[in-house]
């Protein structure tokens, strides 16, 4: 079961993913039990989900790390990138096969189950530029444009390579990250990193329910599901140009660090908070609807003739009706780094969006949220941003993205 890497072509799965790039819990019908998660928890591992699985759940813990390569000439950058990707590929395979405790004596993971460890690697636009491979860079692999509402800190943006490690346990995640970074220390400098989490299955009254973010909203209801015909065209990339074939059937991930202004948010009344998003806080139903999975009625008016879902509500602007079908697979994680020097919560959403082309996915929706005056903008601050190509792993290639280097 060398399933650490997603990617098996037939299923159209995405590269270098173990234990789940795609969350089964992230579908519209969240009231249904999630057999993948139950099976995984019962078995102490990801069941068949170590194959990249278009149906494995979003992990409870994740750590996303962006690194830059230390070399400064194109040929040296390319050589380093190859060496790092090859090393990560092999070490990740080892972690999956036998776990960190059998590779590192005295590892912190002794006594722990595999916990659905999943490792995903990505390549940033800066890497191709620095390695002299601009002619191999698909247009989709470009930093999102600047938005008026951005408050980005350059130190929290970009990166030549991404390491995305997920698992059901934070010790498993953190130890794998340190191990993999340690193996490439001579070639890399960490640019930014952010650990994220969701509520644990053990604490959830209903582990199959869509999780909540730190604002208290049920987040992840409307997402393409692997069973839908639109899933592959929206989430997986299609490249027919031979120069970009290395990314055919891969995916592009946009990562945003979005701080939540939680004190201001919780100063609002419950009704005000519900109108900001356009959904109820207790059960996630769209305003005017009955259940989480109901379609929002955007034309409904109240007794005063006002829209039930306000004109600037997040779901009205983000919904596919106003973005003409732009969709992506959203996987959000909470982050909580305690309080900053002003005593404000340094917490928010580690937002990841996976799509075949960010120009028609993330960027199209974010433009609408930005220009359309999303009511949520008053309570969030985009502080970090990056995009990475996540190539497919092909059985006949020795490491992920191999085609780019040959």
Catalytic residue among 34, 160, 169, 219: 219
The phi and psi torsions of 323 (rounded to 5 degrees) equal -110, 20
Residues of span 376-405 touching ligand HEM by CB under 6 A: 376, 380
Assign residue 12 a region: left if phi > 0, alpha if psi is -120 to 50, beta otherwise? Answer: left
Tell me how far apart the alpha carbons of residues 404 and 133 are, in angstroms, rounded to a whole number: 9
Tell me how far apart the alpha carbons of residues 51 and 21 are, in angstroms, rounded to a whole number: 10
Residue 301: C-alpha distances to residues 283, 311, 323, 376 (Å): 21, 11, 22, 21
Is 219 among the residues that bind ligand HEM (CB under 6 A)?
A: yes
3-state helix, strand, coil in the chain (%, to 5): 30, 20, 50
Question: Helices (DSSP H) in 106-197: which residue ranges?
Answer: 125-130, 170-182
Give me 282's structure tokens: 């207790």
Whether 219 is a known active-site residue: answer yes
Tell me how far apart the alpha carbons of residues 269 and 343 are, in angstroms, rounded to a whole number: 23
Minimum CB separation from ligand HEM for residue 377, in Å?
A: 9
- Asked whether 328 and 231 are in contact (CB, 8 A), the reply is no
Minimum CB separation from ligand HEM for residue 323, in Å?
A: 7
Q: Which stretch binds ligand HEM (CB under 6 A): 95-103, 134-142, 230-238, 365-373?
A: 365-373
Q: Which stretch binds ligand HEM (CB under 6 A): 9-17, 239-247, 255-263, 297-305?
A: 255-263
Is 258 among the residues that bind ligand HEM (CB under 6 A)?
A: yes
Q: From the list 63, 239, 314, 394, which residue makes contact with ligand HEM (rule: CB under 6 A)?
A: 314
Q: From the list 27, 30, 80, 221, which residue makes contact with ligand HEM (rule: CB under 6 A)?
A: 221
Q: Which stretch binds ligand HEM (CB under 6 A): 48-56, 190-198, 212-220, 236-244?
A: 212-220
Q: From the list 36, 173, 253, 365, which residue makes contact with ligand HEM (rule: CB under 6 A)?
A: 365
Give me 355's structure tokens: 């799509």
Q: Which stretch binds ligand HEM (CB under 6 A): 62-70, 107-115, 125-133, 343-351?
A: 343-351
Q: Which residues bind ligand HEM (CB under 6 A)?
A: 213, 215, 217, 219-222, 256, 258, 260, 277, 279, 314-315, 318-320, 330, 348-349, 351, 362, 365-366, 369, 376, 380
The residues annotated with a catalytic role in the active site are: 219
């Amino acid at each position: 079961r060398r399933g650490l890497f997603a990617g098996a072509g037939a299923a159209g799965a995405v590269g270098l993913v173990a234990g789940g790039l795609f969350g089964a819990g992230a579908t519209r019908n969240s009231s249904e039990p999630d057999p993948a998660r139950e099976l995984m928890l019962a078995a102490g591992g990801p069941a068949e989900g170590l194959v990249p699985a278009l149906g494995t759940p979003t992990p409870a813990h994740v750590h996303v790390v962006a690194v830059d390569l230390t070399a400064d000439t194109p040929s040296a950058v390319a050589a380093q990138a190859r060496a790092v990707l090859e090393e990560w590929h092999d070490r990740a395979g080892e972690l999956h096969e036998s776990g960190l405790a059998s590779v590192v004596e005295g590892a912190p993971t002794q006594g722990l189950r595999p916990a659905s460890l999943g490792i995903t690697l990505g390549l940033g636009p800066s890497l191709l530029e620095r390695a002299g491979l601009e002619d191999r860079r698909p247009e989709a692999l470009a930093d999102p444009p600047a938005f008026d509402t951005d408050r980005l800190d350059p130190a929290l943006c970009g990166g030549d390579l991404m390491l995305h490690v997920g698992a059901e346990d934070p010790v498993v995640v953190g130890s794998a990250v340190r191990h993999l970074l340690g193996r490439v220390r001579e070639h890399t400098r960490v640019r930014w990193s952010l650990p994220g989490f969701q509520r644990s299955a053990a604490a959830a009254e209903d582990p199959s329910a869509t999780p909540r973010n730190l604002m208290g909203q049920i987040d992840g209801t409307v997402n393409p599901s692997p069973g839908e015909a639109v899933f592959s065209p929206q989430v997986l990339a299609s490249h027919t140009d031979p120069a970009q074939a290395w990314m055919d059937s891969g995916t592009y991930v946009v990562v945003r660090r979005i701080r939540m202004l939680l004190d201001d948010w919780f100063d609002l009344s419950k009704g005000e908070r519900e109108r900001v998003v356009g959904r109820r806080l207790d059960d996630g139903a769209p305003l005017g609807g009955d259940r989480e999975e109901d379609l929002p009625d955007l034309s409904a008016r109240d007794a005063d003739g006002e829209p039930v879902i306000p004109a600037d509500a997040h779901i009205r602007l983000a919904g596919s009706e106003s973005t003409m079908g732009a969709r992506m697979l959203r996987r959000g994680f909470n982050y909580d780094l305690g309080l900053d020097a002003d005593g404000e919560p340094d917490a928010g959403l580690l937002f990841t969006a996976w799509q075949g082309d960010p120009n028609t996915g993330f960027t199209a929706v974010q433009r609408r949220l930005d220009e359309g005056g999303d009511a949520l903008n008053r309570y969030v601050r985009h502080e970090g941003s990056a995009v990475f190509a996540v190539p497919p792993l092909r059985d006949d290639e020795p490491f992920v993205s191999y085609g780019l280097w040959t």
